[in-house]
Structure 1
Amino acid sequence: MSDYDYDLFVIGAGSGGVRASRVSAAYGAKVAVAEEYRVGGTCVIRGCVPKKLLVYGAHFAEDLKDARRFGWNVPDCSFDWAVLRDNVMGDVDRLNGLYTQGLENAGAEIILERATVTGPHEVTLASGRTVTAKYILVATGAHPHVPDFPGSDLGITSNEVFHLDKLPKRIVIAGGGYIANEFAGIFNEFGSRVTLVNRSDVILRGYDQSIRDRLLQISLTKGIDFRFHAEFEKIEKLDDGVRVHLSGQDPMDVDVVLFATGRVPNTMGLGLEAVGVELDAQGAVKVGDDNRSTVDSIYAVGDVTNRVQLTPVAIREGQAFADTIFGDKPHTVDYSCIPSAVFSHPPMAGVGMTEGEARNKLGSVKVYTSDFRAMKNVLAGRHERALYKMICDGITGRVVGLHMIGPDAPEILQAAAVAVKAGLTKDAFDQTVALHPSMAEELVLLK
């Protein structure tokens, strides 16, 4: 008999926690998962999944217009926010059920309560019940950061945006990252007047400059208003919305202010520091390559560690934890060459080093590009241009970075990322016969 109630107690049923729980249970561990909200976590409940469904919905705005050039007699159409919102939330409910079922089928016990760590092997539930576990895994994710200034409580975050009662006619979005730019594109396509406010003049820091510059150019053409080098001074409540005061700008009256200004690890009130778990300056759990914290029996995966805030990374970390602790297959996650995407309008995607990073690290690089208008855009009379960019080691020819913006860029990049991860050369791309006519063929025709 074990000295503990459980072999593993997981706090948080998001992507990383669910994967670790299911796999650990499959290895024969006695597993419990505590979740205070809903099973599925940020990605499934209030993040990438419902947001991607909004992106799909937004694309119809342009597709319906373009269809006329392809012979379809499409009448003027109106958009009903409530229909899309409710259908998206219905799908979230479906996924919540599937994730719950998956945990239960694996043999994990789900406890729908908040849990705090009260000892190296002890967890206390909101009901007051105390349980013990040989290992504790913290997988509590992160939450949106809201700046502190007068009236900031009048804004919303990506948590609340999916539940708006009505479509805002005027919306201010704070931030320059992927969440801000994705929602800017979504609401612009839905017909809202969008203003994106950023403290600097750089959007999507960390992405290749040529690609993000192209998105800015296209976004401006589509009518999104950008306010750079602007700080929020205060927000005032009005009868029909709010008044936003920015530094160096005239006040703006809008319906909604959406904060997309980063995410903060969910460690507040978990009791981690009291039992010896070290946190960094942002409140993230400090872990080693094996996901172990500074307390031998306590581990952490996913956004709560603030390593790479991406769902597939959290899943891999959860898998590595379970394999190592319960599966006798120790391994660590390789954080190199992780592909990422921005589901903007049009979408961006990239993998490997940007041109700037490659020049700083390698010195000698060769850059190949294709700047073209997609066939569909040509016939539709849409002047929007795609840009593909390949960065290669100037000596070996190895592809060290691949970045693109254009229709279906993330779908194309996923397959191409395999080649970059495998260390293939530009010559390997050149020797591959083009699949014509397609946008993806530009990858093997780069000059």
Structure 2
Amino acid sequence: MADTNGTVFDIVVLGGGSGGYATALRGAELGLSVALVEGGKLGGTCLHNGCIPTKALLHAAELADNAREGAHVGVHTTLDRIDMTGVNAYKDGVVARLYKGLQGLVKSRKVTVFEGWGKLVAPDAVEVNGERITGRNIVLGTGSYARSLPGLEIGGRVITSDQALQLDYVPKSVVVLGGGVIGSEFASVWKSFGTDVTIIEALPHLVPNEDLALCKAFERAFRKRGINFNLGVRFAGVTQDDAGVHVSLEDGKTFDAELLLVAVGRGPSTAGLGYEDQGLTLDRGFVITNERLHTGVGNIYAVGDIVPGLQLAHRGFAQGIFVAEEIAGLAPVSILESGIPRVTYSDPEVASVGLTEAKAKEIHGDDAVEVLEYNLGGNGKSQILGTTGFVKLVRQKDGPVIGVHMIGARVGELIGEGQLIVNWEAYPEDVASLVHAHPTQNEALGEAFLALAGKPLHAHN
């Protein structure tokens, strides 16, 4: 086996997705020598098959809706068609520009990139293309893949988000298996493009990890848009032919459509990479770490989607930065999982950070939690945009804010302030004293905190 001419890197990163390249960039910035091993494209799932291309589709969907609905503000337009060749060119152009920028950034930081599929072969070494790359520290960031259900094979008219992003036509009808973030976002896009959409979700609600009030409001909004869904019922099977797919549920219901999108979550990409051979502990394929993201073996760390918890690109970024600083001896503060913001970029958007009302009461007790909802109907900018929804705040009684939850158009852009409030353990009175620009949707947060502090301006006590 060849080696890198005796070179020992300070950090060898296996995987160039959000967590991996963040580790590499921060490590290099701190003066450490870094090797980055990636078999696909730098940027991983988020840049090429996830966050960025799906949000480009959602922006195109928003423009389609605006074209249809302009008459209510006196702008009369018609929507001639959805040109998927043009939509995909726009989407791919966004990805290409970001990819080129990332490549330049990695090069400018003098990170040594090894192209190929790597494998952990020792507590201090990764092998790629027959070459052994040694590091004083190893960081695993091999990402995730689109999961399916046992016995449900992907192929033909049964697709995952990977294939959905490459469609060159607008399907007439789709059954979406899974009502979480991925399923809801694609359902939203396709409905805006004119597709007949039906969602199947085994749990009692869409976006089931969110606060119950948001779940119910989200379902009302989807129902109003004409997106069909079946909740609390399990998938039984699917057959496909030239006409499309024929989907059956355990309760006996059947659905026919052109496509079945399988959106049941993402699994950790850890199989066959030598992790267990080196003594790492895996649970359902996830790499188990301590709060410092150390695996308990040698100087091996893990970041991103392979670590149990939220599978979000910005979590991967934060973990990558954390591990690089940990290796550099900077003793960074551990990342609080509940302090990571979450956004579903559908129409309407759902954004949240911290504890749901139910989780807060489970931890602190029913009598120790106070909640408040502020309706966006009282917000001037929301009236201008024509959006409905609300801000929901969760606090410990006489204590700090521990949850911020929102639903409505563009509320994902507001969650930055929410995550600062939750992570800094701010009290409502602290936030109520801050001045928010008028008219903005951001002002809705200010109004909600005024109300929670007992001095509402445009809301009832």
In structure 1, how many angstroms separate the alpha carbons of the residues matched to 2:26 and 2:127? 24
Aligned-pair CA distance for 1:362:
2.5
SS at structure 1 position matched to 2:162: coil
Aligned-pair CA distance for 1:390:
1.3
Aligned-pair CA distance for 1:209:
0.7
Provide the residue aligned with 1:148 in structure 2.
150
SS at structure 1 position matched to 2:57: helix
Q: Which string of whole-angstrom CA distances, capped at 9 and with x for unpartnered residues, describes residues 378-399 of structure 1?
A: 578x6x6211111222233x22
Provide the residue aligned with 2:274 in structure 1.
271
Residues 123, 430 of structure 1: alpha-carbon distance in 2 compared, 3 angstrom cutoff: closer
Q: Find out whether 1:52 has 2:40 as its counterpart.
A: no
Provide the residue aligned with 1:368 in structure 2.
372
Provide the residue aligned with 1:66 in structure 2.
69
Provide the residue aligned with 1:293 in structure 2.
295
Alpha carbons 2:382, 2:441 under 8 Å: kept = no
SS at structure 2 position matched to 1:271: coil
Aligned-pair CA distance for 1:225:
0.7
Alpha carbons 2:82, 2:170 under 8 Å: kept = no
Alpha carbons 1:149, 1:232 under 8 Å: kept = no
Aligned-pair CA distance for 1:218:
0.7
SS at structure 2 position matched to 1:146: coil
Q: Find out whether 1:230 has 2:233 as its counterpart.
A: yes
Structure 2 unaligned blocks of 5 or more: 452-461
Of the candidates 82, 85, 94, which is equivalent to residue 91 of structure 1?
94
SS at structure 2 position matched to 1:98: helix
Alpha carbons 1:10, 1:139 under 8 Å: kept = yes
Alpha carbons 2:319, 2:335 under 8 Å: kept = no
Q: Which amino acid aligns with 1:142?
A: S
Alpha carbons 1:123, 1:130 under 8 Å: kept = yes
Alpha carbons 2:376, 2:382 under 8 Å: kept = no
Structure 1 unaligned blocks of 5 or more: none
Q: Which amino acid aligns with 1:118?
A: V
Q: Which string of whole-angstrom CA distances, capped at 9 and with x for unpartnered residues, describes residues 342-372 of structure 1?
A: 1121101111221112222233222221224
Residues 169, 330 of structure 1: alpha-carbon distance in 2 compared, 3 angstrom cutoff: same
Of the candidates 336, 345, 348, which is equivalent to residue 346 of structure 1?
348
Residues 8, 440 of structure 1: alpha-carbon distance in 2 compared, 3 angstrom cutoff: closer
Residues 111, 361 of structure 1: alpha-carbon distance in 2 compared, 3 angstrom cutoff: same
> Aligned ranges for residues 172-211 of structure 1 at < 5 Å?
172-211=175-214
> Aligned ranges for residues 375-414 of structure 1 at < 5 Å?
385-396=388-399, 398-414=400-416
In structure 1, how many angstroms separate the alpha carbons of the residues matched to 2:7 and 2:135? 5
In structure 2, how many angstroms separate the alpha carbons of the residues matched to 1:76 and 1:117? 53
In structure 1, how many angstroms separate the alpha carbons of the residues matched to 2:425 and 2:9? 43
Q: Which string of whole-angstrom CA distances, capped at 9 and with x for unpartnered residues, describes residues 99-157 of structure 1?
A: 122111111111110011111222221x3223322222111011111112355544211
Provide the residue aligned with 1:357 in structure 2.
359
Q: Find out whether 1:159 has 2:162 as its counterpart.
A: yes
Aligned-pair CA distance for 1:185:
1.0
CA RMSD, Structure 1 to Structure 2 (Å): 2.2
SS at structure 2 position matched to 1:261: coil
Provide the residue aligned with 2:139 in structure 1.
137
Alpha carbons 2:376, 2:389 under 8 Å: kept = yes
**Equivalent residue pairs, number:** 441
Q: Which amino acid aligns with 2:351?
A: A
Provide the residue aligned with 2:454 in structure 1.
none
Alpha carbons 1:150, 1:233 under 8 Å: kept = no
Of the candidates 295, 306, 309, which is equivalent to residue 307 of structure 1?
309
Q: Find out whether 1:333 has 2:337 as its counterpart.
A: no
In structure 2, how many angstroms separate the alpha carbons of the residues matched to 1:177 and 1:434? 32
Greater alpha carbon shift after TM alignment, 86-95 vs 261-270: 86-95
SS at structure 1 position matched to 2:174: strand
Q: Which amino acid aligns with 2:439?
A: P
Aligned-pair CA distance for 1:91:
2.0
In structure 2, how many angstroms separate the alpha carbons of the residues matched to 1:434 and 1:223? 35
SS at structure 2 position matched to 1:140: coil
Provide the residue aligned with 1:429 in structure 2.
431
Provide the residue aligned with 2:459 in structure 1.
none
SS at structure 2 position matched to 1:292: coil
Provide the residue aligned with 1:439 in structure 2.
441
In structure 2, how many angstroms separate the alpha carbons of the residues matched to 1:250 and 1:307? 33
Greater alpha carbon shift after TM alignment, 11-20 vs 428-437: 428-437
In structure 1, how many angstroms separate the alpha carbons of the residues matched to 2:384 and 2:403? 31
Q: Which string of whole-angstrom CA distances, capped at 9 and with x for unpartnered residues, describes residues 192-219 of structure 1?
A: 1111011122222221111111000110
SS at structure 2 position matched to 1:87: helix
In structure 2, how many angstroms separate the alpha carbons of the residues matched to 1:65 and 1:86? 22
In structure 1, how many angstroms separate the alpha carbons of the residues matched to 2:315 and 2:411? 20
Q: Which amino acid aligns with 1:311?
A: A
Q: Which amino acid aligns with 1:24?
A: G
SS at structure 2 position matched to 1:74: coil
Residues 432, 33 of structure 1: alpha-carbon distance in 2 compared, 3 angstrom cutoff: closer
In structure 1, how many angstroms separate the alpha carbons of the residues matched to 2:98 and 2:416? 23
Greater alpha carbon shift after TM alignment, 435-444 vs 165-174: 435-444
In structure 2, how many angstroms separate the alpha carbons of the residues matched to 1:230 and 1:152? 21
In structure 2, how many angstroms separate the alpha carbons of the residues matched to 1:339 and 1:295? 30
In structure 1, how many angstroms separate the alpha carbons of the residues matched to 2:171 and 2:25? 41
SS at structure 1 position matched to 2:185: helix
In structure 2, how many angstroms separate the alpha carbons of the residues matched to 1:40 and 1:66? 36
Q: Which amino acid aligns with 2:357?
A: E
Aligned-pair CA distance for 1:433:
4.2
SS at structure 2 position matched to 1:420: helix
Of the candidates 324, 327, 340, which is equivalent to residue 326 of structure 2?
324
SS at structure 2 position matched to 1:149: coil
Aligned-pair CA distance for 1:301:
0.9
In structure 2, how many angstroms separate the alpha carbons of the residues matched to 1:435 and 1:240? 54
Report the identity percentage. Answer: 28
Q: Which amino acid aligns with 2:430?
A: A
